[in-house]
């Protein structure tokens, strides 16, 4: 696991990516306050170790949590600014929904939002699929970033 750096001033456009997702009957959008329990319940059933970080995305206004939906159900999430400021992640898309552009839509939504917040670069924390991030947003590895901010962690039972 290593951190990666992304140039927010050189991002792929968001609109075409979101239009492609809509054409497949899905959406990617910012989560609403009244959806917090549904999002955390969904995530808790597949990746309980990320529930705390996802919940932190709901503690800002506007929320720093984006979700992917299909037929009114959540099928993916991504958060930013929750572990430390300027960091993207974690993120996850349901197994059965991968490869449809949802992960990229979630990531670009977060990163365009980060750029609008005034950041010049984003850190992708504790990667993960390095080739995917290099290909989609030109991310480069940050040397010596293991374990990075994930240091002195409590031993927890969550898998
Ligand atoms: C990473 C993840 C969010 C991508 O979601 P997705 O909806 O499948 O992403 P997209 O459909 O937008 O993009 C899929 C592309 O990424 C590539 N990709 C996905 N995971 C990859 C990996 N581990 N290594 C290399 N490429 C990967 C796919 O091959 C595909 O490429 P293509 O567009 O050329 O076909 C999803 O695979 C996931 O939930 N993984 C498990 C959790 C995880 O690793 N989170 C990231 C922690 S930093």
Q: Is the CB of 113 under 6 A from ligand 1?
A: no
Output the residue whose Cα is nearest ligand 1's atom 8: 98
What is the mean pLDDT for each group of 10 consecutive residues in the chain (159 residues)?
Answer: 96 97 97 97 97 96 96 97 96 97 98 98 95 97 92 75
pLDDT at 1: 87
22 CA from centroid of ligand 1 (Å)? 19
Output the residue whose Cα is nearest ligand 1's atom 31: 99
DSSP H or E run through 109:
helix 102-116
99 CA from centroid of ligand 1 (Å)? 7
Output the residue whose Cα is nearest ligand 1's atom 38: 92
- pTM of the shown model: 0.94
**Cα–Cα distances in angstroms (integers) from residue 32 to residues 56, 67, 106, 138, in the given order:** 13, 9, 15, 30
pLDDT at 72: 95
Query: What domains are there in the chain, each with its CATH number?
Result: 2-141 (3.40.630.30)
47 CA from centroid of ligand 1 (Å)? 16
CB proximity list for 26: less than 8 A, separation 6 or greater: 68, 69, 70, 75, 97, 100, 102
pLDDT at 158: 61
pLDDT at 150: 84
130 CA from centroid of ligand 1 (Å)? 10
pLDDT at 147: 87
Which DSSP symbol is given to 86?
T
């Amino acid at each position: 696991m290593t951190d990666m750096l992304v140039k927010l001033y050189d991002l792929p456009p968001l609109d075409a990516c979101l239009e492609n997702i809509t054409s497949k009957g899905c959406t990617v959008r910012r989560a609403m306050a009244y959806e917090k329990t549904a999002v955390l319940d969904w995530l808790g059933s597949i990746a309980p170790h990320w529930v705390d970080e996802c919940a932190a995305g709901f503690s800002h206004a506007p929320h720093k949590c984006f979700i992917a939906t299909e037929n009114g159900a959540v099928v993916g999430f991504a958060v930013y600014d929750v572990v430390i400021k300027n960091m993207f992640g974690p993120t996850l898309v349901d197994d059965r929904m991968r490869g449809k552009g949802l992960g990229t839509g979630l990531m670009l939504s977060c990163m365009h939002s980060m750029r609008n917040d005034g950041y010049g670069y984003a850190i992708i924390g504790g990667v993960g699929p390095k080739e995917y991030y290099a290909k989609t947003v030109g991310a480069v590895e940050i040397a010596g970033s293991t374990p990075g901010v994930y240091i002195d962690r409590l031993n927890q039972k969550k898998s």
